[in-house]
Structure 1
């Protein structure tokens, strides 16, 4: 991908691509059985999406992600956060 593509994404979202890549890397290497890591990822996605994640929703997401044991991506978490 070229830099102009990433610049367009940054200008539309207001999120630096470095932060998106860092989050993607964290998700890729996360242990989704580790509650602390899962909470940190949910909080980071909320921050990048500019959404406040209430504690009860964060708890639901953590429980759901830990119990499912399935791989997760940023879009999955954003969809879950969007249902507040």
Structure 2
């Protein structure tokens, strides 16, 4: 799943003036909270999944997965990259 762009169906509309990212914590232990501390455009959702392929997914405002990983390595870089877009 690394670097994959996967289209996700969004059930919430993002504010086009101030788009936000969705960070799904698939482990649900809160270990990724510190990685996004201070990121005002990230909505963090803890949603544990049994045996996930990735611990977390960062979903762009357009519904594509911008980052997936087992650890927070690379998450901050992905946020910096997509904030600049």
Do the structures match in fold with TM over 0.5? no
The structure where helix makes up a greater share of residues is 1
Tell me the TM-score normalized by structure 1. Answer: 0.29
